[in-house]
Amino acid sequence: MGRTFDDARRWARLGTELFVTAADLHDTGLDAHSALPGWRRKHLVAHVAANADALGNLVHWAATGEPTPMYASPEERTAGIENGARLPAADLTAWLRRSARTLADGMDALTEERWQAPVVTAQGRTVPATELPWMRSREVCVHAIDLATGLTFADLPADFLAALNDDVLGKRGTAPGPAVVLTAGEARWELPGEGEPVELVGALPEITAYLTGRDHHLTTADGGPAPDLGPWL
């Protein structure tokens, strides 16, 4: 069964709570390395706060019909993260909470009709506003793990992980890479690619970690390493 709009809204709320709670750190804690190469936790917090503001622009677009891009430019997006990362911990986490609350309030205010309004993402895709909760749920759920405070993909709902796997495979399936078949219980995903498919069997959280390019413990049947995948996003 595919994800629904209500699913995405539920996951966005849950992921936001997980991320905000995990990011409630003092300056030293936020200055520690995240799980993303080259980023400390404070960069990740600034990124997620800025993402809420940017998605809020699309909510405004949907609500009013006034074109409001997520970011003025890629340079503005990068500068916002760097500036946010220099804030004191209290100010940075206050921005995180405030932006998340404002985004949630804006979504709550959209009517059924305005949820169908088209908006344009930062990647240039035109989508209905109903896609915004899914975009936010991916952001907060995956980055809650990337904060490296102890959360793992096993802390996320199984239905979210399955939906994320579907989404990631949809993107990876259009790019060059190895052919892989992944199985978790009765669930099965096939990643088209080059060569004979490599079969990987493991727990659902491990498969999600692998597909999203995060640390995992999957191996082939003979104990060999799982094939390297290219960038997800």
- Report d(CA 176, CA 120) in Å as an integer: 26
Q: Tell me: the pLDDT tens digits for 166-206?
A: 999 999 988 899 999 999 999 999 999 999 999 999 999 99
- Report d(CA 115, CA 132) in Å as an integer: 9
What single-letter amino acid sits at 93? T
Closest among 23, 16, 138, 202 to 31, alpha carbons compared: 23
Distances (CA, A) of 10 to 160, 183, 202: 10, 26, 26
Q: State the average pLDDT over residues 65-89.
A: 95
- Report d(CA 11, CA 14) in Å as an integer: 5
Confidence (pTM): 0.95
Has residue 1 got a pLDDT over 80? no
Has residue 125 got a pLDDT over 90? yes
Q: Write down all domains in the chain, each with its CATH number in brackets.
A: 5-151 (1.20.120.450), 174-233 (no CATH)
Has residue 27 got a pLDDT over 90? yes
> Quick count: other Cβ atoms within 10 Å of Cβ 65?
11
In this structure, are residues 48 and 19 in contact, taking their beta carbons and an 8 Å threshold? Answer: yes
Any idea which residue has 């978790």 for tokens? 184
Q: Tell me: the pLDDT tens digits for 213-223?
A: 999 999 998 89
In this structure, are residues 230 and 177 in contact, taking their beta carbons and an 8 Å threshold? Answer: yes
Closest among 136, 131, 111, 107 to 120, alpha carbons compared: 131
- Report d(CA 123, CA 70) in Å as an integer: 10
| pLDDT confidence of residue 53 | 98
First to last CA, the chain: 24
